[in-house]
Structure 1
């Protein structure tokens, strides 16, 4: 069913009841898999991700290029057959999956202190349990928590969020409202981008556009996405602090 954007302009509410600048419910846990060096579980709305991190481990083969003197960040994404509306298993060579793996690996290779671990590999494995929009952003946020749990040094949190526009590329509307944290239906109907930031200075470490959008609307979308990343950073920071508090209380008893 096509998305009725007129409903937004009249009621100032989206189909799921949120306003334009509201995030969906975010729930997260860390240290949920004993077998991994670091692990996390994250929900952004109905998008649900399980992430595990192993390493740094010695490489079985010699890395080339920029990774020769530092750790290689390897990312593997697996989709559960029941994660989408259609119950089918994605092939491992799927173009979209390969693209996401490369983006996540590149983003964290520039944030982690890979120079401390020459000739080694940091493996990030993401299990997609449910898909309902903002998939790349949710994967980045889950990976951040799992890497923090693994104790791998990084310059700061990497937090990501999507931002969209209520007008399509072909639309000539003078007023196009930006939207924060798109769900699956909104992504199918509206142009959107995924933006990731690191540090309190909100340095953009990831900006990925999957659809066409008029250049005049890009600035407002980017500003909304960066603000969403800031909100998510506070939420993830709360999750990490709450986990640390539980660990300390457990050690004292």
Structure 2
């Protein structure tokens, strides 16, 4: 069955799941889901579900570790065989998984206050239970919540979202329109990027922490897609951050209520 996101959007200005261009999928999250770990979270974005556990910081110099002044962030991602329709099993040396692990580790290596834990290791374990697009985005958001639950200090919550671009008509002169939070079908058909931002100082703009793009996209010219996709993504990250902050506040209120 052919994909028809472009033709459907041109007629109704609605996507196949009924969302407008700037609407997020339903996001739900909870933290402290695994009491045996130092920090944990369960995040769903649409039909994508990720469970994250954080261990550490654990003292002890890892073999081959050169930096003795900062903690080292390690990431492991496991995609369940039943997470997708094709039930394809991803092994640990899968190139795509290795790239995702490296991206998540690099993002939090520079974001966390790792200098407070020299010669230590922070381990992030991500389990993908259901996958319908936005894999990197969901992993970053779930890890951010789990790190907050573990009490590891950071300047702000790192929030991520995906952003794409669709041209409503076949006319090459038509200006492409950005769309927010792509599902798996849209990712297969449209150019998209994944972006994560952190809050700046009061009165300053958010800072882009992660930006990855795995499809070709027009950059220059009057119909440039990249700028609109990035602007839409930055605004989307603000929406996601507000939802994540609400989850943390509700959990904190619940903990305080339990202590009383």
TM (normalized to structure 2)?
0.93
Q: 2:251 is matched with which residue?
A: 243
Q: Which residue of 2 is the match for residue 221 of structure 1?
A: 229
Q: Deviations over 1:3-28 (max 9, x none)?
A: 33121122111000000000000000
Question: 8 Å contact 1:52–1:124 — kept in the other structure?
Answer: yes
Query: Which residue number in structure 1 is paired with residue 214 of structure 2?
Result: 210
Residue 48 in structure 1 maps to residue 49 in structure 2: yes
Q: Find the aligned partners of 2:212 and 2:171 in 1 and give their Cα distance.
A: 22
The 1:125–1:163 alpha-carbon spacing in structure 2 relative to 1, beyond 3 Å, is same
The separation in 2 between residues aligned to 1:171 and 1:206, in whole angstroms, is 33
CA drift at 1:2: 1.6
Distance 1:68 1:77 in 2: 26
2:78 alignment partner in structure 1: 78
Structure 2 SS opposite 1:75: strand
Shift of 1:221: 0.2
User: Is residue 2:180 matched to residue 1:180?
Assistant: yes
Q: Where does residue 101 of structure 1 map in the other structure?
A: 101
Q: Does the 8 Å CA contact 1:167/1:190 hold for their aligned counterparts?
A: no
Distance 2:143 2:87 in 1: 25
Q: Runs of 5+ in structure 1 lacking a partner?
A: none
Separation (CA, whole Å) in 2 of partners of 1:196 and 1:232: 10
CA contact (8 A) 2:157 2:198 kept: yes
**Aligned positions of 1:100-249 closer than 5 A:** 100-167=100-167, 172-200=172-200, 201-215=205-219, 216-249=224-257
How many Å separate the matches in 1 of 2:17 and 2:30? 25
User: Aligned equivalents of 1:108 and 1:202: distance in 2?
Assistant: 16
1:3: which partner in 2? 4
Q: Deviations over 1:156-178 (max 9, x none)?
A: 1000000001149x983431110
RMSD over aligned Cα, in angstroms?
1.6
Match of 2:18 in 1: 17
CA apart distance, 1:217: 1.0
Residue 39 (structure 1) aligns with: 40
Alignment partners' CA distance in 2, 1:68 and 1:185: 45
Is residue 62–residue 68 contact of structure 1 (8 Å, CA) maintained in 2?
no
Per the alignment, do residues 60 and 121 of structure 1 end up closer, same or farther by CA in structure 2, a change over 3 Å counting? same
Q: Which runs of 5+ in 2 are unaligned?
A: none
CA deviation string 1:82-114 (max 9, x = no partner): 001112321100000000000111111111000
